[in-house]
Each structure stands twice: as structure tokens, then as C-alpha cells.
Structure 1
Amino acid sequence: MSYLSTGVLNKHPNTTIALSELVNLNPSTTVKIRIKVINWSDRTTITDTEFTLHPNTSINFLVFLVNPDMEINAEKYEIRYQTSYDLNVFINSYGVDNLRANQEGNTILFKNLNAITNTAFNLGNCSPTTGSITSL
């Protein structure tokens, strides 16, 4: 099991969405992924989602950082990832605008994610929802 974090990011003014690109390059191993996005502006959890990423599958996972209807405006945010399998699973994180254009300063590539502990990962205020991703 591995636990990774983007660290706390100052949201670019045009960033409205946190986009995570995940790929499981293993030809035979299914991976459990949990993604937690924390709004550090008010110390709340925006989402805590768990799903299955099947072999040879790539997905995009979107989380709105600005949503007036849900009273979300994350000026500072963090994305945490929990994976059940370390090898051949790659994760990149981008802050994008409504047109999905990358915004300066909100890109964290896999090699730049920070290892954290299970205890640090689980700090937050909601339980994961579940789902399964088979293809994109």
C-alpha cells in the first residue's frame, strides 16, 4: 500500500478543477485507488472516493475546486492518493480551468508526489464512496 500527496497547493486564480490522470500499466493486476481532495481554505474534505482501476486502464478523475452551488471555493487544496499496488501505477495531477487548460503552478507529476503515512492520509472528515473503472 502506498500513500501519496501533492502537498498543499495555492490555486491559480483560473483553476476551477483538480484533474488527476491515473494509469495502471500492469497487464494482469487490478488496483484499488482512493483519492481524497482537501480544501485547506476551510479544512474540509471535498471528496473521498475509492474505486477499482483494472489492468491496462487509464482514467481522468475530476474534482471541482470552485462550485458556488456547493459553497466550495478552495484557494488552497491538496490531493491525496492511496494505491493498493505500487508498480506500474502512475498518477499526475493538474489544476485546470473550465476548458481543461492547465494552469500555471498546479501541475504535480508522479515523480514529484510526496510519500505520506496512512495516519496522515486518513486525516479528514468523510468516508470514501466506491466505484469501479474498467475503461476510458
Structure 2
Amino acid sequence: MAIVLSTGTINKTRSTVNAHIELLNLSNFFRRVRVQVINWDSRTSLLDQTVNVSPNTNFAITTSVRDVSFHYEIRVTVPTTRNLIVNTFAVDSGTFTVENNTVLQHQLVRIFPPFAIFKKAQTKSRVKVSKKPLTTKALIRKSVKK
């Protein structure tokens, strides 16, 4: 069963422009990893990407959080935490790490499904989700009725 790790909500500072995620695979096997960045102000998904991390390599993902006013979260879904290290950073416009907005592997919190469903943010306009996001079960029921 996959393991979902979360930074919890991060308070964005004025200098933060990007969220940067480092995935270090120290095993001899490919690791399939899902990375999500959630804007908690608008309850939208800024990034939802699945990558294959090659054996004995480091893989970095950087995504913009400019549209986040106050709070965002990074979630990483991994098959195992054995020999797979995840670290997250806030980065400023000069690509420097923003102090006090780093969440290292040992600080990530394991969370358990079911999770709320978030709509992906559109590039020009934000899609707002209702105050009570649908659970996976409710979303399936809704799609079956159509």
C-alpha cells in the first residue's frame, strides 16, 4: 500500500515564489512517486504529477506558488520510504531556499485516505471547490448517476 506524506499547511512568505521538491532514490529499483501541491486558499491543485525516479538518482520538481496568498501543502505518495528520501523547500526568485520553509523527510507527516477531491487550477482563472469537497466515494456515486 502506498504511503502518503504531507508537509501540512505551509504559511507562504512574501519572498516565496516556488515550491521545490527533492526525491532521492537510493535503491536499485525505479520508484513511482506522485507529487501534489495544493493551494489551501482556493482549495485547488497547483501540481499533480507522477514521476518514475531512476535507481540511485536525485529527481527535482519545482512549481510556482505565486498565486498562493497564504497557505499551501505538499503531498508526496511513495511506494515505500525505504531508501527513498523526500525533502521540500520554498524558493525565492533568485532560486535561494527561503528560511524556515523547509520540510525534511523526518518532519513529513503520514496521512491516510480518504482525502478531499481538489479541482486542478486553470491557468487563467481559478476553479473554486465547494466548501465541503467531495470524498472519493461521493464523487464515484455522483459519476455513476450520470
Q: Please state which band the TM-score falls in when normalised by the shorter chain.
A: 0.7 to 0.9
Counterpart in the other structure of 2:117: 123
**1:80-128 CA-partner distances (Å, limit 9, x unpaired):** 00012321000110001011111122110100000001323x63224xx
Q: Which runs of 5+ in 2 are unaligned?
A: 121-146
Q: CA RMSD in A?
A: 1.3
CA distance, structure 1, for counterparts of residue 55 and residue 12 of structure 2:
33
Point out the structure with the larger strand share. Answer: 1
Counterpart in the other structure of 2:73: 78
Q: Is the 8 A contact 1:32 1:85 kept in 2?
A: no
What residue identity is the alignment partner of 1:58?
Answer: N
1:32 to 1:18, Cα distance in 2 relative to 1, 3 A? same
Q: Which runs of 5+ in 1 are unaligned?
A: 67-71, 127-136
SS of 2:119's partner is coil
Find runs of 4+ consecutive structure 1 residues off by over 3 angstroms: none
Counterpart in the other structure of 1:56: 56
CA distance, structure 1, for counterparts of residue 69 and residue 51 of structure 2:
24
> Which gives a bigger RCO, structure 1 or 2 (Cα 8 Å, sep 6+)?
1
TM-score, normalised to structure 2, is 0.77
Listed as ranges, the matches of 1:29-108 within 5 Å are 29-66=29-66, 72-108=67-103
Larger-gyration structure (1/2):
2
TM-score, normalised to structure 1, is 0.82
SS of 1:111's partner is helix
Instruction: Measure how far apart 1:74 and its partner are.
Output: 4.2
Q: Is the 8 A contact 1:25 1:88 kept in 2?
A: yes
What residue identity is the alignment partner of 1:86?
Answer: T
Q: Is the 8 A contact 1:12 1:104 kept in 2?
A: no
Q: Is the 8 A contact 1:12 1:105 kept in 2?
A: no
Identity of aligned residues (%): 31
CA distance, structure 2, for counterparts of residue 9 and residue 102 of structure 1:
14
CA distance, structure 1, for counterparts of residue 35 and residue 69 of structure 2:
16
